[in-house]
Chain A
Amino acid sequence: MTIALTSRIARRFADLRAAGELGIITYITAGDPTLSATRDYVLALAEAGADVIELGVPFSDPLADGPTIQRASERALKSGTTLAGVIALVHQIRQSSQVPLVLFSYFNPILQMGLKKFAAVASEAGADGVLVTDLTPEESAEYREIMQAHHLDTIFLAAPTSTDERLVKIAACSSGFLYLISRTGVTGAKEALPDDLPALLRRVRNFTQLPIAVGFGISLPVHVSVLGGLADAAVVGSALVSEIEKAASPEAAATALRARVRALKEAASQGLSRREATR
């Protein structure tokens, strides 16, 4: 347990909790459009205050992703991005930033590298956690054992359709934080959060002491304001990937990412009183 308490992810959530502030977790696809651009984007996100950064490992068949991240994955694969390349990028980022980093991947690239080799090199490079979108708790025992042995947090997804029995299982398999999907569906920015999200969050709270991060469909400061007091962190992905997609240059993309995250962080810090009122 001492390991969990001293991990970068746990420390960051402890700090956020102490400050009564909602964390901002950002997702971008590594290698979109190149790994060196991604390094600059990660440093920009960290500088703007991102609390945790998820680095998407591009996959040919991103089942859980909507069109925005599908296109990002295609661009990243086209530029030759591999899992080994993404891990090397983590190592590079660690030369200049201690921001908590989560590798967000589908299972097959990890399986092909080998679970043990992956865990060893990812941990050595400085990754803090792993989220495998298409690995179910039922199939995860060996994976979790290996990740834990290398001090990598294992983050699992819970959905609005997860039953109470399943939430028990998901919570037991998760470390670092629990990722709650806000609505049924794939990744992608939406205008409004679902009405039943507060009730869902309260239900999930009954099953875990871990911080709860809410993702899928979150893009705007107003979403973050609503989540203050209910969740521990908001995950923003497709909205950031869209900025990268439409930017005229990597520099313009970095600037847009910084502005996005600053606005989200500002909304999160203003949600402070609501959070204390409901906790």
Chain B
Amino acid sequence: MRMLGAEVIGVESGSRTLKDAINEAMRDWVTNVRTSHYLLGSVLGAHPYPTMVRDFQAVIGREARAQILEAEKRLPTHLYACVGGGSNSIGLFYEFLKDADVKLVGIEAGGRGNGLGEHAARLAAHQGFSGARPGVLQGTYTYVLQNEDGQIASTHSISAGLDYPAIGPEHAWLADQRRAEYAAVSDQAALDAAQLLSPTEGIIPALESAHALAGLIERLPQFKPSDLVIMNLSGRGDKDMDTYTRLLGKLT
């Protein structure tokens, strides 16, 4: 980020994850609101931010839909994307919402276990991930990982971008409507997927995007030859080289 010209201020408060960075950004914003504007890279925060970010990101789905129609002359059967707050996924899904036959699949961070604090899976109770209930965090009413008293839970994911206790509210709605389905994959599955993609395609994926790929790989046996899948490889692995080195370096 610094190489790209940004000033980066680390967050020292709370659990020092994405939610704490958002807390600090909001605190800074309300303090300097007369001279600054709040920008968030995900579909989180109070209305109208989730809608705004969705509309900005929707270019992903518009371009993907146009390109696949041109290349394949038909719509895809499945879309896959990772879901932290859920901006790349809602951006991909949005243009296809009206296409009822296109299955939308969001992949969350299953972390290192099912217990509260071990994962960041808000919509994967069907896989045994515990602790998500409707609640309010940072101005959004959505599924939130929390304890019985309404205190927001700590989360774990190998991927910083998925390591967040709430999910963008439109995903909560799509899940409740059963228009999209959500599932979680583990840290290890994401790492394995990254190690498969890198030598196969020469693309080192971001750890977030590696979750989407891992979700797709887990479901490969269920696919038919006629299925046509778009998976959103939403980020590059440059930012994750430290993690890859730390976790995979010892394998060599």
Chain A residues proximal to chain B, CB less than 8 Å:
59-61, 63-64, 66-67, 70, 77, 82-84, 106-113, 134, 136, 161, 184-186
Contact = CB atoms under 8 A, between A and B. Distances in A.
Interface of B: 13-14, 19-20, 23, 26-27, 30-34, 46, 133, 135-139, 144, 146, 148-152
Contacts of A184: 30-34
Contacts, number: 66
A83 B150 contact: yes
A82 B150 CA distance: 9
B26 A77 contact: no
Q: Among A60, A84, A112, A186, which residue has the most Cβ atoms of chain B within 10 A? A: A60
Contacts of A161: 33-34
Given A134-B136, A134-B139, A184-B34, A63 B26 contact: yes
Contact of A112 (B23, B34, B46, B148): B148
Given A108-B150, A108-B152, A112-B133, 6 more contacts: A64-B27, A83-B149, A107-B136, A112-B146, A112-B150, A136-B46
Contacts of B139: 134
A63 B146 CA distance: 16
A219 to B, nearest CB: 17
B33 A186 contact: no
Contact of A60 (B27, B32, B152): B152
B151 A60 contact: yes
B138 A77 contact: no
B23 A61 contact: yes
17 contacts: A60-B14, A63-B23, A70-B14, A82-B149, A108-B136, A108-B146, A108-B150, A108-B152, A110-B150, A111-B150, A113-B150, A136-B46, A161-B34, A184-B30, A184-B32, A185-B27, A185-B30
Contacts of B30: 64, 184-186
B196 to A, nearest CB: 37
B136 A186 contact: no
Given A61-B19, A61-B23, A61-B138, A109 B151 contact: yes
What are the nearest 9 A-B pairs in CB distance?
A: A112-B150, A109-B150, A185-B31, A108-B150, A60-B151, A60-B152, A82-B149, A107-B136, A108-B136
Nearest to A185: B31
A106 B135 CA distance: 11
Nearest to B34: A184
A186 B31 contact: yes
A67 B150 contact: no
Q: Among A61, A82, A106, A134, which residue has the most Cβ atoms of chain B within 10 A? A: A61
Contacts of B46: 136
A197 to B, nearest CB: 15
Contact of B151 (A67, A77, A111): A77
Contacts of A63: 23, 26-27, 138
Q: Among B14, B23, B146, B151, which residue has the most Cβ atoms of chain A within 10 A? A: B151
B137 A108 contact: yes
Q: Among A77, A84, A108, A184, which residue has the most Cβ atoms of chain B within 10 A? A: A108
A112 B136 CA distance: 9
Contacts of B33: 161, 184
